[in-house]
Amino acid sequence: MELVPIHFPARRAAKVALHHLNTLHGSPFNVFGLQEVHKATMEEIDSGRRKYSLDLSVIEWASSESREKKLMLKYHILLHDFVSQEIDSGRRKYSLDLSVIEWASSNSVFRCLALVTFSLDLKTPPDVQIDCAELQQTMLSLQKDEDQGNMSEEMKPFWHLAAVASSFIMLKESSENTEFNMAQVASLNQQESREKKLMLKYHILLHDFVSQEILHWQLLCSWAPGQGVEILEAQFVPKCPHTNESADNTAAD
């Protein structure tokens, strides 16, 4: 059955996989964002489950213009019926089959397999497994630029790191009743470096599309070439203590 491309269950699972991709490969050079869901279909299968097949594109928008590329993904999502009985200790599973096409350079196709498992306990973060062997090789190649410190002066790596850091929180906080995006960077402060790592403290605003809530988080994160992004401290702020602060940037969906 054909579905509207912005069908919520499809976007929700795609966003969770996307956040996970950012936690794996995010850096000042690489931040992945969902661009568009092109096609979505749903199939009823055994045990009251639904299988969703989607074609969608994401854009890696942290790269310099000469390296900017679009990635084409095919998802096959195994989704439990919302009213079905619990399975496997009260969990729901989403099976994804991804194909990633690099448009800008050699049109290489990256085959990815992912499994997103949501728990009925909304306090339990989703479990995500993703395997993109060919994409991993590409990321290792791009990492050479990081190791050599080749960063354009025009780039804004601090905001890119905020987007990556937000993905860690959005992945952890995601459930079947949420769809998160980073809305704003309210403030950032560079901290004293530790062990040759860049240290940044952020006040980040996250937007939940479902509830329309704006959630405030304070994060301390680090980054070093070849070591990736690490969240050292994360604190949820119930109410914004700086209501008059202006945002540094707004995230692309």
What is the secondary structure of 3-24 as a DSSP string? E-TT-HHHHHHHHHHHHHHHHH
Sketch the domain layout of the chain as residue ranges: 2-237
Asked whether the predicted pLDDT for residue 169 surpasses 50, the reply is yes
Residue 18 vs residue 243, higher pLDDT: 18
| Predicted local confidence at residue 108, as pLDDT | 37
Q: What is the mean pLDDT of residues 30-49?
A: 67
| Predicted local confidence at residue 54, as pLDDT | 57
Residue 43 vs residue 221, higher pLDDT: 221
Angle, vertex CA 193, rays to CA 189 and CA 199, nearest 5: 45
Residue 153 vs residue 235, higher pLDDT: 235
Question: Is this model's pTM higher than 0.85 or not?
Answer: no
| CATH fold group of domain 2-237 | Nuclear Transport Factor 2; Chain: A, (3.10.450)
* φ and ψ at residue 47, rounded to 5 degrees: 60, 30
Asked whether the predicted pLDDT for residue 247 surpasses 50, the reply is no
| Predicted local confidence at residue 93, as pLDDT | 62
Q: How many Å is the Cα radius of gyration of the chain?
A: 18
| Predicted local confidence at residue 180, as pLDDT | 92
Contact criterion met (CB below 8 Å) for 18 and 163: no
Q: Cα(129)–Cα(93) distance, rounded to whole angstroms?
A: 11
Asked whether the predicted pLDDT for residue 153 surpasses 80, the reply is no
CA quadruple 146, 14, 89, 177: dihedral sign:
positive
Q: Cα(170)–Cα(178) distance, rounded to whole angstroms?
A: 9
Q: Cα(177)–Cα(162) distance, rounded to whole angstroms?
A: 24
